[in-house]
Amino acid sequence: MINSTLNPYLNSNTSLGIDQAYFSILNLYLNPVIFYAIAWEAYTGNGIPIATLEPHSNTTLKISTKYPLHIYYQSIETDKVYEYCHTTYTFKEHGSYGWNISSGSLCSNIYVLHEPTESYLPILAAFIIYVLLAILWTTFKVIIRVIKGKLSPNNIYDDLDRLQEAENATNLVVRTTKFSTRIHSVDTFRGIAILLMIFVNNGGGKYIFFNHSAWFGLSIADLVLPWFAWIMGLMITVSKRTELRLTTSRIKITLYCLRRSAILIFLGLMLNSKDSESLHDLRFPGVLQLLGVSYFVCAILETIFMKPHSQDILHQFGRFAMFRDILESWPQWLIMAGIVTTHTLITFLLPISNCPKGYFGPGGEYHFRGKYINCTAGAAGYIDRLIFGNHTYNHTENFLYGQILRYDPEGLMNTISAIFIVYLGVHAGKILLLYYQCNSRVIRWFLWTVFTGIIAGILCNFETQGGIIPISKRMMTLSYVLICSSFAFLLYALLYVLIDYKQFWNGAPFVYAGINPIFLYVGHILTKGLFPWSWNIAFPSHASLLAMNLWTTSLWTLIAYLLYRKDIIITV
């Protein structure tokens, strides 16, 4: 008998939950057969035994609809085991499906007994509601300005195009705030990252693409941390250049970087203590720890090598002046090349007992038939287990791959990868500072978009799990770092044009969240699961969970807006 409690697919007569469907299998064999299923993403030649199907019976199973499933059955005939009817099918939530199998390996196509629900309609509804609210808010602001006499009715169209413009040019007094001196495209980018992080950390409506990938591939949730690290790098360039121009001592800047990194690491340990029962199992790595270390490395490099003022370009670089963003920081690039090379060599050459070199997989029970069960995360996982021991991420049950070893998605090797993400953001900041025309900046950001995207594609062979270095957020592989940075370059270029150059948009509401991102991150972790940010739902569904998660995100957006109105900026 198969122990159904160990299976991710339960044979039950209870009602369907989120991402579940019924699957009725009519077995016309004269002997029992074993039904197997596994997510196609995790299929490497074997499946998970789900149920024993009795002869001449109709068995109804409850199966997962999160991923396309690869299914087949196994029959024992004359002391030999045969596998029949391998097929892959995408089941949909709350549908009911049928499948007929009979002797002679005859199988019907999978057919629909009851139509599934449209599980993505809540996302469409939420999008329409937010768009309508944005239109109503914009219209309200225009009407108020018309009533106050700051705008004539004939100029309403121009105002809609440039809502970000300040008071009427005839005003003699200009109010300067902390916010008015900031780069709005940077705050908007950072706000997008932090609000997405809050949304996905709270569940993302339990939609699979709003949650982190099981191991390989790329989802929306996988973008938020590298984006936050990337934009942090861009601001390192701006802030360090400003500090050096003010003739601040490089030693003082170094001490400030050390203090800021220490605060981030301490905050990260404090947040980790929420999930620990004692210091014995306190998780040492974490998101803020990763950001703190990667910030310190890149900030120190800029403090040491950055020039306070750009020298005469033609005299310094001659015909290569168009590449001054790279040539001016060649020592930093040389160090980054050394860091990336060292990381890659460790990944591919570090010997691990009973594990292949260069292994990027999850290990576990179901990856390659459990052949690499003790090899979770390859060299990165081995180093984390060796250095941190029990002080690592303690979630060892993976939905697709079963029980895996402890490892840490923000461990030592992943933090080294994050340093490169931050430095690519630093370089985006160099482009912002060294080139003064919008076209020059945007073209270079776009070229980096293409360059990093192509290199990432070559490394992973433009496949989810393929190539020399597959895309994996869990291990922050080089292909993952490059593809996330590619999207970051592209997104920032668009925001820069729309917000800072053309001024078509003021960045709201994301720009408010980008002013105090660390405060919002720490706050949402501390209040997670507490009312009024969230509450228990008796019978959860995608719609109810999405509504609650959007409410949580909106509430933190409102808090960010109130801080902006009070001109409060909380920094570390």
| Phi, psi at 26, each rounded to 5° | -95, 110
Instruction: Identify the pLDDT of residue 242.
Output: 87
Instruction: Identify the pLDDT of residue 371.
Output: 86
CB-CB contact of 446 with 489 (8 Å): yes
Structure tokens belonging to residue 342: 């060292």
Separation of alpha carbons 466 and 482, rounded Å? 16
**Residues β-bridged to residue 26:** 58, 100
Separation of alpha carbons 364 and 397, rounded Å? 9
Q: What is the mean pLDDT of residues 80-109?
A: 89
- 172 C-beta neighbours (distance < 10 Å), count: 5
pLDDT, tens digit, 9 for 90 and up, residues 15-59:
888 999 999 999 998 889 999 999 998 888 888 899 999 998 999
Separation of alpha carbons 105 and 117, rounded Å? 32
Nearest to 366 by CA among 358, 356, 376: 376
Nearest to 353 by CA among 367, 373, 370, 325: 373
Separation of alpha carbons 216 and 471, rounded Å? 6
Does the pLDDT of residue 3 top 80, yes or no? no
Does the pLDDT of residue 157 top 70, yes or no? no
Q: Among 212, 343, 367, 542, which one carries the catalytic annotation?
A: 212
Instruction: Identify the pLDDT of residue 42.
Output: 86
Per cent of the chain over pLDDT 90 is: 67
Separation of alpha carbons 99 and 265, rounded Å? 54
pTM of the model: 0.90
pLDDT band at 168 (very low <50, low <70, confident <90, very high): very low
Note the residue count of the chain.
Answer: 572
pLDDT band at 7 (very low <50, low <70, confident <90, very high): very low
CB-CB contact of 70 with 56 (8 Å): no
Instruction: Identify the pLDDT of residue 317.
Output: 61
Contacts of range 490-493, beta carbons closer than 8 Å, 24 or more positions apart: 490/445, 490/446, 490/449, 491/189, 491/192, 491/227, 492/185, 492/189, 492/231, 492/234, 492/428, 492/445, 493/441, 493/442, 493/445, 493/446, 493/449
- 330 C-beta neighbours (distance < 10 Å), count: 10
CATH 2.60.40 fits 20-114, yes or no: yes
Structure tokens belonging to residue 217: 């591939």
Q: Which of 105-114, 417-426, 446-455 shows the lowest per-residue confidence on average (mean pLDDT)?
A: 105-114
CB-CB contact of 31 with 79 (8 Å): no
Q: Which of 160-174, 202-216, 501-515 shows the lowest per-residue confidence on average (mean pLDDT)?
A: 160-174
Q: What share of the chain is helix, strand, coil (3-state, %, to 5)?
A: 50, 10, 35
Question: Which 3-state string (H, E, C) describes 177-230?
Answer: CCHHHCCHHHHHHHHHHHHHHHHHHCCHHHCHHHCCCCCCCCCCHHHHHHHHHH
User: Is 212 one of the annotated active-site residues of the chain?
Assistant: yes
Instruction: Identify the pLDDT of residue 495.
Output: 97
Parse the chain into domains and list their residue ranges.
Answer: 20-114, 187-307+323-334+409-566
Q: Which helix (H) or strand (E) holds 490?
A: helix 478-495
Strands 96-102 and 20-27: parallel
Nearest to 229 by CA among 204, 200, 256, 264: 264
Strands 33-39 and 20-27: unpaired
Separation of alpha carbons 232 and 293, rounded Å? 12
Separation of alpha carbons 380 and 370, rounded Å? 19
**Residues β-bridged to residue 102:** 106
Beta strand segments in 313-390, E: none
Q: Which of 175-179, 209-213, 474-478, 480-484 shows the lowest per-residue confidence on average (mean pLDDT)?
A: 175-179
Q: Which residue has the higher pLDDT, 344 or 243?
A: 344
pLDDT band at 315 (very low <50, low <70, confident <90, very high): low
Instruction: Identify the pLDDT of residue 124.
Output: 95
Instruction: Identify the pLDDT of residue 312.
Output: 52
Structure tokens belonging to residue 47: 């499946």
Q: Give the ranges where 115-168 is alpha helix by DSSP (H).
A: 121-147, 156-161
Q: Which helix (H) or strand (E) holds 260?
A: helix 250-272
Q: What is the mean pLDDT of residues 145-158?
A: 58
3-state secondary structure of 97: strand
CB-CB contact of 522 with 271 (8 Å): yes
Contacts of range 333-336, beta carbons closer than 8 Å, 24 or more positions apart: 335/301, 336/419, 336/420, 336/423
Instruction: Identify the pLDDT of residue 313.
Output: 53
Structure tokens belonging to residue 505: 């948009």
pLDDT, tens digit, 9 for 90 and up, residues 364-418:
888 887 788 889 999 999 999 999 988 998 888 888 888 899 999 999 999 999 9
Instruction: Identify the pLDDT of residue 163.
Output: 35
CA–CA distance from 40 to each of 3, 43, 87, 464, 491 (Å)?
A: 22, 5, 10, 12, 31
551, 552, 555, 560: CA torsion to nearest 10: -140
For 363-387, letters b (16+ CB in 10 Å) and e give bbebbbeeebbebbbbbbbbbbbee
Instruction: Identify the pLDDT of residue 43.
Output: 86
Q: What is the mean pLDDT of residues 526-530?
A: 92
pLDDT, tens digit, 9 for 90 and up, residues 120-146:
999 999 999 999 998 998 898 888 888
pLDDT, tens digit, 9 for 90 and up, residues 276-313:
878 888 999 999 999 999 999 999 999 999 887 655 55
pLDDT band at 543 (very low <50, low <70, confident <90, very high): very high
Kindly report the average pLDDT of the chain as a whole number.
Answer: 88
Structure tokens belonging to residue 528: 């997670």
Q: What is the mean pLDDT of residues 265-271?
A: 95
